[in-house]
Amino acid sequence: MAGSNRGEENRLICNRCAHRCALGPGRRGICGVRENRGGLIECLVYGLLIAAQKDPIEKKPLYHVLPGTDSYSVATVGCNFRCGFCQNHHISQPSGREYPEGLRATPEEIVSSALREGAKSISYTYTEPSVFFEYARDTAIRAKEKGLLNIFVTNGYMTGETLDELEGLLDAANVDLKSFRDEFYRRLCQGSLEPVLASLKKMKELGIWVEVTTLIIPGENDGAAELKDIASFIASLGRETPWHISRFFPRFKMTQTPPTPVFTLETAREIGLAAGLKYVYLGNLTGGAGEVTCCSHCGGKLIERRGYRLVGFHLQEGRCPSCLVPLEGLFSPG
């Protein structure tokens, strides 16, 4: 009975994410892909990919994990959030009980594809990996055996139990910290804030390399006070934790909301640096200081990017060539 506890009236409690859905016989969770079948919670999309392709790892975004390499990115249908601004809503929030036709692939086949494509890691991404946890875990085990890193791109709404099972398997994660207001999570995502904060803390405790992304949405989470709260929390995880600040563009149910002004992104970056964060990056905005990794000690340029492409890599054995201070992150394959 993986990922479940028995509740009242033959209901099972799915403990993969913080919703902890109580599922009666034949009932599915909020994610739409986990169901109580015959007294067991089954992952209905195990072995069924909706997306599989090679991406630059910078696209996740991860800037301190194997820079300049490719990550084999996989996803199934389903998500435990209902974000009205989701860029992948067609696969994360499919309508009805049927799923778009996908690609059948075993964990072994995923790993073989990643190796054939020359990827150095596998990213479980595009939708929410905790809802297809068993599939991701089994793939991660085999990926580790072949020397590949495992990466989650996640909303962070998993449980502590789920993270415990990933100890030693998950190398890195980019976690969306969408807001620092519970009201935002409840209204726009149908979730809550605290489980995300708890996941971020636990990931750091487990030794998982963490980078944080916040999509700045005009009129929703772009106030200076909230940005300061986000930056202060990330700094409490460790000042070395990179913060990716992304620009919003109209999409899905929020087509009337304008794109984020560049000035807002630049202000957010200044707030992050003022909070003591060593590395603050600007996403969906090509060019400028927001794409460059500088040494936190001497300020020298270590990694220069343009979009998802490296245009300068100056690290020497993971260290600044000028002052020899190491750059925090994962710079060697598993």
Residue 269, number of CB atoms within 10 A of its CB: 21
Task: Indicate if the pLDDT at residue 47 is higher than 80.
Answer: yes
Burial of residue 49 (number of CB atoms within 10 Å: 0-12, 13-18, 19+): buried
Beta bridge partners of 311: none
Q: Evaluate whether 59 touches 312 at the Cβ level (below 8 Å).
A: no
**Read out DSSP for 11-25?**
-EEE-SBTT--EE-T
8-state DSSP, 218 = T
pLDDT level of residue 98 (50, 70, 90 thresholds):
low
pLDDT band (50, 70, 90) for residue 1: very low
Encode pLDDT of 312-321 as tens digits. 999 999 999 9
Q: End-to-end CA distance of the chain: give it in Å, rounded.
A: 31
CB 166 within 8 A of CB 130: no
Provide CB contacts within 8 A for 25, sequence distance 6+. 10, 36, 37, 38, 39
pLDDT of 306 above 80: yes
Averaged pLDDT of the chain? 94
Residue type, 254: M
Do residues 289 and 299 make contact, with C-beta atoms less than 8 angstroms apart?
A: no
| Contact partners, residue 107, CB within 8 Å, separation at least 6 | 135, 138, 139, 141, 142
Return the SS3 of 216.
Answer: strand
What are 163-176's pLDDT values in tens digits? 999 999 999 999 99
